[in-house]
Structures are given as structure tokens and as C-alpha cells.
Amino acid sequence: MADNQKNSVYTNEFPAISKCETFGREAQTVVSDLDGTLLRGRSSFPYFALVAFEVGGVLRLLFLLLASPIAGILYHFISESAGIRVLIFATFAGMKVSDIESVARAVLPKFYSSDLHPEAWRVFSACGKRCVLTANPTVMVEPFLKEFLGADLVMGTEIDSWNGRATGLVKTPGVLVGVNKADALLKAFEDTPLPELALGDRKTDYPYMKLCKEGYIVPQATEEVKAVTVDKLPKPVVFHDGRLVQKPTPFKALIIILWIPVGFFLACLRIAAGALLPMPLVYYAFWALGVRVTIKGTPPPAAKKSTGQTGVLFICSHRTLLDPIFLSTALGRPIPAVTYSLSRLSEIISPIKTVRLTRDRTSDANMIKKLLEEGDLVICPEGTTCREPFLLRFSALFAELTDELVPVAMSNRMSMFHGTTARGWKAMDPFYFFMNPSPAYEVTFLNKLPYDLTCGNGKISHDVANYIQRMIASTLSYECTNFTRKDKYKILAGNDGTVATGKT
């Protein structure tokens, strides 16, 4: 009873965030906690698990999962700081700091942005200057907070490193909880006025909240509290990397660890079926092995070289490197594909002919024309994949080479693993896609482009490409963008996407 009365006193010390007015806050500064405040979830385990898996693989994820009960015991019975230290050590020890930074930039923002607390964001976004105090390592959270939420200052736990690798320890003053948060705030604002507004969600946030003019508590989120929708974010996450589709809670992490051996064996069976069976049988083999293929629209008949008929150029939206294979599966015949970058392993196991583009416009044009003389061909003019409901800019070269254009809207569904990567080993992409328990592809054939809308009738190639992009986007309810391959790889991998074979 005494403990309940004590907690009641703490709870009444600050009003709930629902009582906070946001009008006229443009010139004010706000400081907020992250887990449980800006984010609906109070546990930071999923984000440590993402770093563990994406940098260290399944064994590191297993190590973190085994260490998490110890962290939980320390957190609840010793101190919040002790529990977080265990998570930091289990996740970071021995990792390259550059790899941690890469995951923080390319992987974590997608998961953080999908858990933003609506009430906290309402107040946080209303203020002109935004600061975050968090027990999480700064290296993990800073890219998301600054780039996607517009935070001006991020104060978190600083990890120790030696020779470019994390030691698993933390720098002085230690984990940023309790009075350490208050001290960090005082130090950061020693020459300027302290923030007018403070947001927190637990007792250990009170020391820094008391330093501000106003303080508000964010109650623990219930299932009824929905995350901020994408349209209300200052910047949507168009590109993201990483293999995991869902945020790995401890239970989901255990399922992933147990599934990987089974999933890899299943992926090998599915790939073997696609590579070894005649193409008319692949559709049925996929269904028997749990791969769902849905076909919509009416595809054109195969080109007949004997009659002098040139091939059709299928223009596909690009979701994974398997797009041409599922197009061939839907047609029941192998359709050659031109590719921008493909690993040697993917070329070897591919059931269809693949032809590498050189990125030299003249030689690529001649190559595509020659292939079309031999029959149908498929191309993905985006040049790279995008996971979100966006279409990247279509390269216009294809429109100049033929008037026989058939747009194809490709979409897919993955429940556990993403079948694309910008930072990792590209050769594993098909394996990860087929490691999903029941992956699915939907292939929608649109009407062949009328001659009146082709370059043969005087249309500009860029106008043709943009028109087809809009057609496919409308079919999929996607949004057209001007982003290119270079934009994606600059954001996710820090390069222009032109790398050695085996990577992309």
C-alpha cells in the first residue's frame, strides 16, 4: 500500500500530456525522453535486437536474447542503468562502430517512425527547438531523431570503443538515466536558458523534468493508442534496409532464431523447384511449397520469330530481383531479363536468361534491340528496388527502343525477411525471400501501350516513361517519385550503388 501511495504522489507531480496546449510554442524549447515518451513502446530490446541481427547475425541475436532475462532482472531489482549496460554489452561488444552507424542510418528509422506516440509528437513537433534525452546509445538514435523528427540536440549514452570497434562498455558519466539526464541537460544548456517544456514517462525522468518550467507525463500506451501515420511525419521513410520485416520482440526474436534453419532448407527447395522444373510447372510447384502467385490482367501471346514479329518489352515495377522470374512464372514461359547489377550466384541459379547492362547508353540500347529481335524481354526501369509504396524514376531508354510496351505492376508480401538489401550480400536476396513462411507475389498485366502514346508516334521518351510510371503507380496505389538508384544508395550505403560483383 505504501508503494502504491508513493507512486501516486509521483504520478500527480506532473499533469498528463493530454493537458498540454501547443498554441504559441514556436519559440520554445522542448526536451523529451525516447522510449515510452516519443515512442509508444517502453522497451528498447527490439532496437538492440535489430542491430544485433543486422551486424552480428543470428548468433549475436541469440546471445542478446539469452542475456535479456539478466538485463530484465537487473533493470527491475537493481537499477535501470545496470539492465541497459547488459543490453549494450551483449549487442555491441566487438562490433565495428561504422557498422552500428550504418544500421542506425539505414535500418532503425523505419521501425522508430512506425512507433511514434501521437500525443508526444503533437507537443514535440509544436516547439521550435527540439531536444531528446535518452538512455539509449546516441549512435543508435541520433540519425532518426535528427533527420526524421527534426531534433536539434540528442543526448544519449555514449558507447566506448577501441580501434574502431565497440568494447561493449559505456563512457563516463555512464548510462543516461535519473540524475545523469539532469546533469546532461544542465551541461548542454549552461550558457543558454533551460527548455521551457519537458516530456517524460517514468519516475527516473523526473530529475530533468523538474528543471523545466513545465513538465508533462506521457501515460503508458495502450493498444488503442495508434502510432502517428506516415502523412503526419515531417519526412517519410522512403528507403530502408535490413533483413527483418517486423520489429523483433523477445518472442519474435526466438521465432526467427528457430525458423532460420528450417526456412533456409525450405528456401533451397523452392529455389531448386524454380531453377530445375520446366517453367509451365513452376507455378504449381511454388503453390505446393507455400509460395503464392496471383495473376491479374491478360498477358500478350508469345512473339513468333518465324513471322518476323519482334518481342514485347515488359516494363515492370521493381520490388526484388525475383520480379522477372515471377513474371515468367505467371506467363508459363521463361522471359530473358536485362539487369543492372546481379551477383554471380543469382545468375547461376536463375531459371531465366539474364543479361547485364553496361550503363553505357549506346551499347545497352544495341543489346536490348538485339534481344527484342529474338523474342520477349523484361526490364525494370527503376534500376533498383524500393520496399515502400513508392515508384522511383523510370529510366527513359526503353521507350526509345520499341513501341511494343506492356506495363506490369509487381507487388509482393513478406512476413519475416526482406528479399532485398543495399548494404548486405546481394547473393542472399533470393534465399531470404524464399525463407519467408509463405511469401507471395502479385503480377498484374496492364494493357499494351497504344501506338499513339509511343515514341514511334512522336512522343518524347521521358513522357512515355513517366506515363507508364503513373499507370503502374495508379494500379498499385503507389506514389511516383523522382528518386533514383543513386539517391537510394547514398542514403542507405553511402555510395552510388556501383560496387563490385556480389554487392549492389
- Reported as a single tens digit per residue, the pLDDT across 299-333 is 888 776 655 667 899 999 999 999 999 999 999 99
| Phi, psi for residue 465 in degrees, rounded to 5 | -60, -45
Residue 307 pLDDT = 57
CA atoms within a 13 Å half-sphere pointing along the CA-CB vector of 438: 4
- Segment 144-164 shows an average pLDDT of 94
pLDDT at 305: 63
Domain ranges, ordered by start, for the chain = 13-232, 260-492
pLDDT 10s digits, 204-232 = 899 999 999 999 999 988 888 899 988 88
User: Is pLDDT at 128 greater than 70 in this prediction?
Assistant: yes
**pLDDT above 60 (res 269):** yes
118 preceded by a cis bond (ω within 30 of 0):
no
Query: CB of 38 within 8 A of CB of 133?
Result: no
Largest CA distance in the chain: 91
State the pTM of this model. 0.90
Confidence band, pLDDT 50/70/90 cuts, at residue 107: very high
Q: How far apart are CA 25 and CA 282, in angstroms?
A: 61
**Whether pLDDT at 358 is above 60:** yes
Residue 338 to residue 317: CA distance in whole angstroms: 14
301: Cβ–Cβ under 8 A, 6 or more apart, which residues? none
> Region 226-245: what's the mean pLDDT?
89
What is the fold, at CATH topology level, of the domain defined by 260-492?
A: Glycerol-3-phosphate (1)-acyltransferase (3.40.1130)
- State the sign of the Cα–Cα–Cα–Cα dihedral 357, 359, 363, 364: positive
* Residue 7, pLDDT above cutoff 50: no
Q: Is the pLDDT of residue 496 over 60?
A: no
* 14 vs 140, residue with greater confidence: 140
pLDDT tens, position by position, 36-51: 999 999 999 999 999 9
Instruction: Select 13-232's CATH number: 3.10.129.10, 3.40.50.2300, 1.20.1250.20, 3.40.50.1000.
Output: 3.40.50.1000
* Whole-number percent of the chain with pLDDT over 90: 70
Which pLDDT band, with edges at 50, 70 and 90, does 453 fall under? Answer: very high
Q: Which set of grid coordinates corresponds to residue 323? A: 520480379
The reported pLDDT for the residue numbered 6 is 33
Q: Closest Cα to residue 130, out of 23, 30, 26? A: 30
* Cα Rg, the chain, nearest whole Å: 26
Say if residue 118's pLDDT is above 70.
yes
Q: What is the Cα 279 distance to its own chain's centre?
A: 32
Query: Among residues 504, 320, 498, 327, which one has the least CA distance to residue 408?
Result: 327
Note the pLDDT of residue 345.
Answer: 80
In this prediction, residues 146-153 reach a mean pLDDT of 93
Q: What is the pLDDT of residue 346?
A: 81
**pLDDT of 380-432, one tens digit each?**
999 899 999 999 999 999 999 999 999 999 999 999 999 999 888 889 999 99
